[in-house]
Structure 1
Amino acid sequence: MSHPVEAQTRPRKYPFVHMRIADHSVLDSIEGRHVCRLCNRSRKFFCYSCHIPVEELEKLLPRLGLPLQIDIIKHKKEIDGKSTAVHAAVLAPEHVRIHTYPDIPDYRLDKDVVLIFPSAKSLTVPQLFERNVQLKIDDNYGLPKGHHMGTMLRRRVDEIEVLEDQPETTSKRSYTYGNLPVRRAVFIDSTWNQSRGIYADERVRGLRTVVLQNRLSQFWRHQRGSPRWYLATIEAIHQFVLEVHVNAWGLNSAYRGLDNLEITEGFHQLAAPLTREAPSEDVERESPYNGQYDNLLYFFANMYDLIHKYYDHNDLISYRRPI
């Protein structure tokens, strides 16, 4: 590995500033590799096959509770050691499970389950909560006539807008962890071409699809042909539970963790009427969002810091992809 970069050619905003991510410097103190207690394979921080931390870290890592269940469908050709999906399973083991395609559940009879996947009929998270918003749909997203957005997406989904000709009717319903409009979300962990094949499977094809707000990815690993708004799996999970929480319980006005995440202005527009005054240290699970799920990015932020210790941000091709 090359020597650490001493100077940046252009200034950059540190994306995780003010987020409630636990101190991950303990990871830098772990020397060598360790044996997984289940499969006896050599691992660094966690076993990406068994989805558990190494014994030396078991009591040191943050653990999260999520507002709903997360299923991740991983394509069998995805390299386990390079996927960020396992981060969620290690940090929130009671709420995350990973399946390797084609060995997946049959979701056809499941209610209140959604698939995070862009399609022509995708809903937004605010629409799950019956907010009066819609996607801007212009010129079929730049696709040739006859092509379906869900199978040939080449441009980002435009921002959500509040309908101007009708007053927004945010639901007055009081939400708890037990009565959210969705109880399980399914994510596909694969390349775009692989995900289209999984989406065609009849066991998931009938699920309602949900599209996330645009957010620039901070993932350092380049995927050819993918723009900056293609999120790593762990980023997408964080974005989804963030949007669910804000729409259910609001956003703490004192929370500044979103300042440098580069989320589209549409998110902030929709969050504005849901922003609440609350104590700056209030992180109760049904309190306005104040970083309750930021530790999903615990391993991700640590690796981001390590990469940027040795490489100039502006030299990494992943951050020079088109927006």
Structure 2
Amino acid sequence: MAFELAATPFRRLKLASFAPLISAERAVCPKCKSSRKYFCYTCFIPVGISESSLPTVELPLQVDIIKHSLERVGKSTSSHARILSPHSVNIHIYPDIPSYSDTNKVLLLFPGPETPSLDSLLPGKTTEHKQCSTGVSSAKRQRLQRPLCERLIVVDSTWSQAKRITADDRLHDIPRVQLKQAETFFWRKQSKPSHYLATIEAIYYFFKQLHELQEERSYDGQYDNLLYFFAFQYLLIKNKKETK
């Protein structure tokens, strides 16, 4: 079975080798004793694969994923983020929502007609772009000096369920942000427009766009491995369709 990225939307990403996944066998999760392949989506650990063989992604912010209790765990991509970025990502099952004492340090990633885009929230965005001696614009220098937030909240649910979660009083005062339009490559058919992203895609694009707006060095695939499992599943389904 071929696992070539060349003819896929992921061809420009810097992804770790899929070799550990290709050779993986179904096994029993050491925690919940359920039969799993690749990882356990309830315990959020690799199964049948050594943890050291998987890539790890370090994120500059903590991420809280609020997952609806009716969301199908086996098809949710939030587990990808928890497994690949275990030190930065936590998953909470709604109605469990963490307590945020300072809402100025938190952002809720959720689109809406009046929700500001990521770039419009960054300090110094409207500053005149005068080049500094280092080659970094004065606007970008201001953005580098002031962090956007300390925590990011992402909702993992169907769109109808997400509206209920985001209407929760505990999230009412938390500022919202949305991404510049990005296209989903989710393999299941959906009735929503192509810019409605899977959870792991939304997290990936947030950090990629944040890096491009804030960092002096250009983006060089630092967060690409967030899509490691996602791209592999895309290839599995693509190969299955082609061999029918």
Q: Which 4+ residue blocks in structure 1 deviate beyond 4 angstroms? A: 166-169
Alignment match of 1:183 (pick from 114, 139, 150):
150
Q: Secondary structure at the match of 1:86?
A: helix
8 Å CA contact 2:20–2:49 kept in 1: the answer is: no
Q: Deviations over 1:98-140 (max 9, x none)?
A: 011001113364331000112343222112223547xxxxxxx
- Tell me if 1:21 matches 2:15: yes
- Tell me if 1:195 matches 2:162: yes
Q: Deviations over 1:40-87 (max 9, x none)?
A: 221111111111112533121001101111111111110111001100
Once the two structures are TM-superposed, the CA of residue 217 in structure 1 deviates from its matched residue by 0.6
TM-score by length of 2: 0.87
Once the two structures are TM-superposed, the CA of residue 175 in structure 1 deviates from its matched residue by 2.9
Q: Deviations over 1:253-298 (max 9, x none)?
A: xxxxxxxxxxxxxxxxxxxxxxxxxxxxxxxxxx431000000010
Q: Which residue of 2 aligns with 1:123?
A: 116
Q: Deviations over 1:122-178 (max 9, x none)?
A: 222112223547xxxxxxxxxxxxxxxxxxxxxxxxxxxxxxxx95572423737xx
CA distance in 1, matches of 2:113, 2:99: 23
Alignment match of 1:66 (pick from 28, 39, 59):
59
CA distance in 2, matches of 1:208, 1:52: 32
- Tell me if 1:298 matches 2:228: yes
Alignment match of 1:307 (pick from 222, 237, 243):
237
Q: How does 1:185-264 map to 2 (within 5 A)?
A: 185-223=152-190, 225-250=191-216
CA distance in 2, matches of 1:132, 1:65: 26
8 Å CA contact 1:108–1:204 kept in 2: the answer is: no
- Tell me if 1:92 matches 2:92: no
Amino acid of the residue matched to residue 293 of structure 1?
Answer: Y
Q: Secondary structure at the match of 2:9?
A: coil
Unpaired stretches in structure 2, ≥5 consecutive residues: 130-137
8 Å CA contact 2:122–2:143 kept in 1: the answer is: no
**Size of the alignment, in residue pairs?**
231
Amino acid of the residue matched to residue 223 of structure 2?
Answer: Y
- Decide whether aligned partners of structure 1 residues 13 and 227 sit closer, same or farther in structure 2, where only a CA change above 3 A counts: farther
CA distance in 2, matches of 1:302, 1:39: 24
Amino acid of the residue matched to residue 232 of structure 2?
Answer: N
- Decide whether aligned partners of structure 1 residues 87 and 195 sit closer, same or farther in structure 2, where only a CA change above 3 A counts: same
Q: Which residue of 1 aligns with 2:132?
A: none
Q: Secondary structure at the match of 2:58?
A: coil
Q: How does 1:165-180 map to 2 (within 5 A)?
A: 167=128, 170-173=139-142, 175=144, 180=147
Alignment match of 2:32 (pick from 39, 50, 53):
39
CA distance in 1, matches of 2:44, 2:31: 10
8 Å CA contact 1:108–1:207 kept in 2: the answer is: no
- Tell me if 1:107 matches 2:76: no
Q: Secondary structure at the match of 1:241?
A: helix
Q: Secondary structure at the match of 1:196?
A: helix
- Decide whether aligned partners of structure 1 residues 131 and 125 sit closer, same or farther in structure 2, where only a CA change above 3 A counts: farther
RMSD between superposed Cα atoms in Å: 2.3
8 Å CA contact 2:106–2:151 kept in 1: the answer is: yes
Q: Secondary structure at the match of 1:90?
A: helix
8 Å CA contact 1:115–1:185 kept in 2: the answer is: yes
| Structure with greater Cα Rg | 1
8 Å CA contact 1:113–1:186 kept in 2: the answer is: yes
